[in-house]
Amino acid sequence: QVQLVESGGGLVQAGGSLRLSCAASGRTLSTYATGWFRQAPGKEREFVAAISRSGDSIVYADSVKGRFTISRDNAKNTVYLQMNSLKPEDTAVYYCAADLFGIATKFKSRYDYWGPGTQVTVSS
């Protein structure tokens, strides 16, 4: 098993940037594909970005392409989500998820482990 904890969320003005981190423990994160999802109040949890174990496969939601960058540093057992040009519609709780067997995927059901989430609020 792996335990995931997100950090780096906060309040930022529209157009600003934040970098989210997903730190893993219990098992080396390099053995997992990792995804980022987000959930706004009253909305379903939606896919944001994913990266394969090796980093050779990356997928982004259309809404964040060109603005967000997912990366991983296996030496630090951490996955990152760099968020630039933030918009108010990016406001949500952001969750990190890990999949032991799959490659980068947008499907929530494919992920085995989830972090507790970190709040991102973008003001206009």
pLDDT tens digits, one per residue of 7-63? 999 999 999 999 999 999 987 878 889 999 999 999 999 999 999 988 899 999 999
**Whole-angstrom Cα distance, residue 123 to residue 105?**
30
Predicted local confidence at residue 100, as pLDDT: 84
Instruction: Tell me the three state secondary structure of residue 64.
Output: coil
Q: Which two tokens stand for residue 3?
A: 């335990």
Q: What was the pLDDT predicted at 101?
A: 77
Q: How do residues 64-118 score in pLDDT, each as one tens digit?
A: 999 999 999 988 989 999 999 999 999 999 999 999 877 889 999 999 999 999 9
What is the predicted pLDDT for the residue at 74?
85
pLDDT for position 103: 80
Which of the pair, 45 or 1, is modelled with greater confidence? 45
Counting every residue written for the chain, the total comes to 124
pLDDT score recorded for residue 81: 98
| Long-range Cβ contacts of 62-66 (<8 Å, 24+ apart) | 63/89, 64/90
Is there a contact between 35 and 109 (Cβ–Cβ < 8 Å)?
Answer: no
Mean pLDDT throughout 118-122? Answer: 98
Q: How far apart are the C-alpha atoms of 6 and 96, rounded to whole Å?
A: 7
